Amino acid sequence: MVAQVRALAFALAKPIEMKKVLVRKPFVFLPNAVHAVLFRPLVFPRFLDQGSDMLAPPWPELVISCGRRAGLVAMGLRHALLQERGRPLFI
């Protein structure tokens, strides 16, 4: 999946920065539907493991995520940035 995301990012012909995110246990075992409804405001940054890359401003123009866990983090980040001006587009 990483290769597909990288290929999509390179096709956009813009500089890219890849970040690795890890979801802490026990949250990693819950289905995304639970996170989407109940825990969406808490996902970012509370569910991130210490081994994750830092996610902080300045925010990118575009966030591409793949996989269940990365999608969960992107969903939480999108919720956290709802009030930001110029917030990123999420794929």
pLDDT of residue 79: 77
Predicted TM-score of the model (pTM):
0.69
Per the listing, tokens 């246990």 go with 25
3-state helix, strand, coil in the chain (%, to 5): 45, 5, 50
Strand residue runs (E) in 13-77 = 62-63
Render pLDDT for 23-71 as a digit per residue (tens, 0 to 9): 778 777 777 666 566 666 666 667 778 888 888 888 888 888 887 777 7
Q: Is the pLDDT of residue 5 over 70?
A: yes
pLDDT of residue 41: 64
Integer Cα distance of 64 and 79 in angstroms? 15
